[in-house]
Structures are given as C-alpha cells and as structure tokens.
Amino acid sequence: MNERFDGSFTQQEAIPDDAINAAVEVMRSGRLHRYNVVDGEAGDVAHLEQEFATLLGAKYCLAVASGGYALATALRALGVGSGHKVLTNTFTLAPVPGSIAAVGAEPLFVGVTEDLVIDLEDLAKKVDQSDVLMLSHMRGHICDMDALMRICDQNNVRVIEDCAHTMGAKWRDIWSGRYGTVGCYSTQTYKHINSGEGGFLITDDAQVMARAIVLSGSYMLYDRHLAGPDTSEFKKIRYETPNISGRMDHLRASILRPQLRRLNAQCEAWNVRYRTVENGLQDTPGLRLILRPPEEKYVGSSIQVLLLDWRPQAVRDVMARCAERGVELKWFGSEEPVGFTSRYDSWTYATSSIMPKSDRILAGLLDMRIPLTFSIEDCALIARIIREEVGAVYQSIPELV
Ligand SMILES: *Cc1c(COP(=O)(O)O)cnc(C)c1O
C-alpha cells in the first residue's frame, strides 16, 4: 500500500487565544475605526504600526487594508501614475502587476533565474526604461540585494519591495523591506501573520509616508499616527493628495499585535518544516532543488522545485500522481492560470514580449505551500511521496530530459 497524506494545504493555524481576547475587547468597545479612540488612547492600529516599525528599524509605518493596497499606495506616493512604466518580476502573483495597473501604469517584466530570483542581467538591460522597480520577493526567494541596489542606485531607480512572502526574512543582516525606498507586506490569511486581509507599508522617507497616510484616508487626523512623520510634513501634501480609503481597523490590528510578537518563533517553525521537505527531496533524479545562498535568511512557508526541461505531460503526470496521494502541487507552467498560480503572459492588460529563458524556468516550476498545521512527520511523508512519484515518472520516460 502506498502511503497517503491526509492534511489540508490551505489550513492555517487558529488565531491564538490572546489575540481572540483582544479582538473581543475591541468589539465590546464598539470603536473599530482606527480614528475612533477616547482621550488618552492611541488605538490598536497606531500601536501595531509603531511595533512593526520598531521590529524592522523603520522610521515610519502605515497599516492598510491589504498587501495589494500597500503596493498601489507605494506607487502613488512615489508619484507613479498614468503612462509610467514600472519594472517588475515576471515570476510573481497577480496583485503585483495588478497594483501597477491600478495606478494606470504599465508593468515592464524582468526575467527569472534558475534560483527563482529576478534576473539581474535582464534588469541591467531594461533599467533605463523606468525609474521605479517593484521587486517581488516571490515565494520568499531573495536576490543578491547588494547587487540589485547597486544597479538601481546607479540608474536613479527607486525600489518598492513586495515582501508578501518575506516578512521576517533578511538578506545578510538587513530585513527584507529595508533595502528599497518602501517595503510592502500582506497580513492576508496565507501570509506570515493572519488578519484575513491587511497589509503594511514602511519607509524612512517622510514625504512618501505623509502622502501614503493621506492617501489611505486619514482626513486631517494624521497627527494620530504614532509611526508617522512630523505634522509639518503634511502642510502642503494634505491639500493635493487624494483620499483613496484603505485603512486598517482596530479589530484586525488587535489580532495582529500578539501574532507579531511570535513572528520569529513562527519563522523558525516554518524553516524546520522547509528543511525536512528539502532534505527528503535531496538527490531525487530529474528534480532540482532551489539554491539558497548563505546570505539569504529565508522563511520557508512554501517550497519550490524544478523539473527543468521535462515535457509538460510528464509534469502533469507527476502532479496527478502526487494529488492521488493527497499532495497538492501547483504548476507555473500551466497555459491556463489555476488557483493562485499565474503567469506573466496571462495578464493580458499588460503587454509582454516572449521571454524564453523565464518560460523555461516557469515550465518546470512546481510550488507547494507548507502551512504550520503540518507536523515535521507530515513534511517527511510529503517529501517521500513527491520523491517516489517524480522517480516513477522519470524512469518511465527516460528520453524526457
Ligand atoms: C499575497 C500577495 C500580495 C498581496 O496580497 P493581498 O492579498 O492584497 O494582501 C502581493 N504580492 C504577492 C507575491 C502575494 O503573494
């Protein structure tokens, strides 16, 4: 009898009890709106912003309604709008090009390498066509940030980091989100802390944060922010910056604050699971693991492998055989976007030219999330199943590589 896995790949952990209690207290107060506070009270949202800024050593932080909203707000705060081009990764998810389209700009895709990071050679070729790069640390893979910043700084390109998959990760000893002008995060259920929907934007630039705060819908209450710039920064921009409401509320902030205190421990728990799957897949014929350089302090909340140069049908066979045994893999090579996977050429609102090097990578790319509801034993079992099924298909079609 073949072993089978019975867990759910979309089941996250319960919200911790202290977070639930905090949420109940907010509901009892009736004051859910971030600016609805009583005398002497700053509110959970302002406290959360201050705590997140402190954790990352950022001067300013704004909590918002979603990660995608944070990205679009970062673009607007940098003055990106209609007719602009924004450099971004080919290998990313729909909210990233979506945020660029939301401000009327157009994504200019930069390729992906076999290590699943942005192709710096391709970036160097295209860097003179824009003055903003929205860098997506897709699936938690962080490129050589020193090299990337050198290219961008030399060309006066400002960087917005999409840290939806890298909250808690670092390149060398610097947090992901602290290299660029702006760092954006998501607190959506499938990310590293869970408020259903939500996001953050951090920066050290006072004018960028002042604009982001007014954009998010602060009215003239911007002085209520504990992690915002001096009120003098708002003097001019408060009249010329539109309100595009996307605030976070106290209910979500109240359940995020206790989770933020546990972030480090959670990241450790992910990495133990990631390494268990990775070890179990070591030296599987036909399957390539993704190199993680020593400078990259990643958070292994998902794992990717490459079946490089396999025929599409053979990749589909592996997926079907794994699914049969309860292991859900996502494929970035599928012609039709399925579930959360999507490809740059399926976003037809953005013009893209054919990118053969990236297409080769995406065609072999399998992706699996690792929720913390999986035990270490679950992870070892999942690796055994993938290993056996990749092996079975690989042996049956020797000419596929
Ligand atoms: C989830 C995600 C976002 C932001 O998503 P929201 O659902 O809007 O919070 C941005 N980029 C990537 C790569 C993501 O996976």
Tokens of 12: 């996250």
| Global pTM exceeds 0.85 | yes
Domain end residue (candidates: 239, 261, 283)? 261
Residue 5 lies in a domain: no
Q: Tell me how far the alpha carbon of residue 38 lies from the centroid of ligand 1, in angstroms.
A: 33
Residue 371's CB is within 10 A of a number of other CB atoms, namely 18
DSSP per-residue letters across 96-114: HHHHHHHTT-EEEEE-B-T
Same domain? 175 vs 319 = no
Same domain? 294 vs 205 = no
Task: Write down the pLDDT at residue 141.
Answer: 98
Q: Give yes or no for a contact between 358 and 110, defined as CB atoms under 8 angstroms apart.
A: no
Residue 9 lies in a domain: no
Kindly tell me the burial class for residue 260, based on how many C-beta atoms sit within 10 Å of its own C-beta (0-12, 13-18, 19 or more). Answer: buried
Ligand 1 atom at shortest distance from the alpha carbon of 198:
9
Same domain? 267 vs 257 = no
Same domain? 41 vs 161 = yes
Q: Tell me how far the alpha carbon of residue 177 lies from the centroid of ligand 1, in angstroms.
A: 14
Domain end residue (candidates: 244, 261, 278)? 261
Q: Tell me how far the alpha carbon of residue 74 lies from the centroid of ligand 1, in angstroms.
A: 14
Residue 64 lies in a domain: yes
For residues 107-119, one letter each, b for 16 or more C-beta atoms within 10 angstroms of the residue's C-beta and e for the rest, the string is bbbbbbbbbbbbb
Mutational pocket test of ligand 1: of 73, 89, 93, 165, the residue with most ligand atoms within 8 Å of the beta carbon: 93
Q: Tell me how far the alpha carbon of residue 164 lies from the centroid of ligand 1, in angstroms.
A: 5
Same domain? 272 vs 251 = no
Task: Write down the pLDDT at residue 399.
Answer: 65
Residue 228 lies in a domain: yes
Same domain? 77 vs 167 = yes
Domain end residue (candidates: 261, 290, 320)? 261
Residue 4 lies in a domain: no
Domain count, the chain: 2
CATH number assigned to the domain comprising residue 305 = 3.90.1150.10
Residues with CB under 6 A from ligand 1: 66-68, 92-93, 95-96, 136, 138, 162, 164-165, 186, 188, 199
Residue 3 lies in a domain: no
Same domain? 246 vs 363 = no
Same domain? 194 vs 272 = no
Task: Write down the pLDDT at residue 330.
Answer: 95
Tokens of 288: 């390539």
Same domain? 274 vs 231 = no
Residue 7 lies in a domain: no
Residue 360 lies in a domain: yes
Task: Write down the pLDDT at residue 343.
Answer: 80
Looking at residue 196, the DSSP 8-state letter turns out to be S
Tokens of 84: 């602009």
Same domain? 196 vs 89 = yes
Task: Write down the pLDDT at residue 72.
Answer: 98
Task: Write down the pLDDT at residue 345.
Answer: 85
Same domain? 26 vs 139 = yes
**Mean pLDDT for each consecutive 10-residue tract of the chain (401 residues)?**
93 97 98 97 98 98 98 98 97 96 97 98 98 98 98 98 98 98 98 98 98 97 97 96 98 98 98 98 97 97 97 95 97 80 82 90 96 98 98 82 53
Q: Tell me how far the alpha carbon of residue 92 lies from the centroid of ligand 1, in angstroms.
A: 9
Task: Write down the pLDDT at residue 335.
Answer: 77
CATH number assigned to the domain comprising residue 195 = 3.40.640.10
Q: Which phi-psi region, left, alpha or beta, contains residue 37 (left: φ > 0; alpha: ψ -120 to 50)?
A: beta
Q: Tell me how far the alpha carbon of residue 167 lies from the centroid of ligand 1, in angstroms.
A: 12
Same domain? 232 vs 271 = no
Domain range for 379: 263-400
Q: Which of 212, 194, 214 is nearest to 202 (CA)?
A: 212
- Nearest residue (CA) to ligand 1, atom 1: 164
